[in-house]
Amino acid sequence: MYPHQIERLTEVLEREGLQALVATSAANVRYVTGFGSMVHALFQTTQLAVWSRRGTALVVPSIDVPAIVSEGIGVDHVVPFGDFVAARGKGAEADRIGALSERRAASPTEALATALDAVGAGTGRIGLDEGSLTAQAWELVVAKLGPGRVVPAAALFRVARRVKSPYEIECLERALHEHAAIPAPWPSARALRPGDLVRFDVGCVYKGFCSNVGRTGVMGEPDLRQQAVFDAVQAGLEAALGAIAPGVPAARVFNAAIAATRAGGLPEFQRHHVGHGIGLEHEEPPRLASGVTTPLEMGEVVRVEVPYYQHGWAGVNVKDTVLVTRREGHVMNRSLRGLVVLD
């Protein structure tokens, strides 16, 4: 775990009076441990990451143990549960896998109790990320650990993850490289025609970190309305980017975007938001929306967009991913922002 994560999670423990935090979602487990389970991605298996001032622990199905060992995941304790049969090989790595697999628990709740004891949090209040738990799973954990010990923590993890570390910023920048884009929409069989507007809304995932960038193109030269709408949308985006700085309320970015888009030629323009945070999940705090007084912080990464959609006509969007630096917003993606002429 990097010093940045330790600092952010320690602040949460101290502020909330907790002994440990337990992550359940893929994003939060990766934040605490750096581990991203392929098994979980495919089959939505139970995985937990425990963090306290005295160490970290992973609670995983036994099938995940070889990946944790081979990837060199730097946690203090690994507590597997359930059965998984595999022949034992030779060498230090095989010995490590075998030793961990032999100490497996019967169930996820048994494994969690063992992990909490291992990191010195066998008693006291625990923050449990409820985001990926069913109501039944929550009750099982509460029954195992005892009443009054467990409080919801999904929102606490979101707060901790808002400000990115240098490593996280590097991963987000890598995810934005031009050869790493994957288009999200399903294509139709319709061939493009002269005058068609085309929205590009693309991104990828790199080491668990998400990216997103949006551009608009036109087949051939744009007509007057297409260019006018695009110019208004781009004016809104540039106003939003110009408003970004540490300490600025999120609503001020929203208001700047709406005002500039209306002044730029779309007087009736409306939006419910003009972006949000991005990181280990596609959508993270803060939300750039009306009435959101949360101030931006240095080190946050936000996705900023000012899209315009009109049924029966078309859609236009320009979207950038922005790092909040000491004085302003730094656009992390590299592509040009103008209306792209396709020919």
pLDDT band (50, 70, 90) for residue 312: low
The pLDDT assigned to 273 comes to: 93
Give the span between the Cα atoms of 54 and 289, in whole angstroms: 39
Q: Region 312-320: what's the mean pLDDT?
A: 85
Do both 172 and 132 map to the same domain?
Answer: no
pLDDT band (50, 70, 90) for residue 38: confident
Residue 311 in this model has a pLDDT that exceeds 70 = no
Better-predicted residue by pLDDT, 10 or 315: 10
The pLDDT assigned to 289 comes to: 96
Give the span between the Cα atoms of 109 and 116, in whole angstroms: 11
Do both 217 and 149 map to the same domain?
Answer: no
The pLDDT assigned to 189 comes to: 72
Final residue of a domain: which of 141, 161, 181?
A: 161
Do both 321 and 254 map to the same domain?
Answer: yes
Residue 342 near residue 196 (C-beta atoms within 8 A): no
* Number of structural domains the chain divides into: 2
Do both 260 and 240 map to the same domain?
Answer: yes
Do both 106 and 177 map to the same domain?
Answer: no
Do both 144 and 71 map to the same domain?
Answer: yes
Give the model confidence (pLDDT) of 45-78 as tens digits. Answer: 899 999 999 999 999 999 899 889 988 999 999 9
Q: Region 288-303: what's the mean pLDDT?
A: 96
Do both 274 and 185 map to the same domain?
Answer: yes
Do both 199 and 311 map to the same domain?
Answer: yes
The pLDDT assigned to 91 comes to: 86
The pLDDT assigned to 188 comes to: 63
pLDDT band (50, 70, 90) for residue 183: very low
Do both 44 and 142 map to the same domain?
Answer: yes
Domain encompassing residue 271: 168-342
Q: Of the ranges 4-13, 17-26, 199-208, 278-287, which one carries the lowest mean pLDDT score?
A: 199-208
Q: Region 102-107: what's the mean pLDDT?
A: 90
Final residue of a domain: which of 128, 161, 194?
A: 161
Do both 124 and 229 map to the same domain?
Answer: no
The pLDDT assigned to 109 comes to: 93
The pLDDT assigned to 180 comes to: 34
Do both 39 and 119 map to the same domain?
Answer: yes
pLDDT band (50, 70, 90) for residue 85: low
Do both 326 and 244 map to the same domain?
Answer: yes
Residue 9 near residue 2 (C-beta atoms within 8 A): no
Residue 206 in this model has a pLDDT that exceeds 70 = yes
Percent share of the chain, pLDDT over 90 = 66
Residue 201 near residue 319 (C-beta atoms within 8 A): yes
Q: Which residues contact residue 137 at a Cβ distance below 8 angstroms, ignoring those fewer than 6 apart?
A: 46
Give the model confidence (pLDDT) of 166-178 as tens digits. Answer: 999 999 888 765 4
* CATH value at residue 104: 3.40.350.10
The CA-based angle 73-150-52, given to 5 degrees, is 35
The pLDDT assigned to 187 comes to: 59
Q: Of the ranges 18-27, 38-47, 249-258, 261-270, which one carries the lowest mean pLDDT score?
A: 38-47
Task: Give the DSSP letter string of 233-297.
Answer: HHHHHHHHHHH--TT-BHHHHHHHHHHHHHHTT-TT---S-SEEE-SSSSSEEEE--TT--PBP-
Give the span between the Cα atoms of 323 and 208, in whole angstroms: 18
* CATH value at residue 292: 3.90.230.10
Structure tokens given for 180:
């790493």
Give the model confidence (pLDDT) of 117-136 as tens digits. Answer: 999 998 989 999 998 888 99
Q: Is 142 exposed, middle or buried (0-12, 13-18, 19+ CB in 10 A)?
A: middle
Final residue of a domain: which of 161, 183, 207?
A: 161
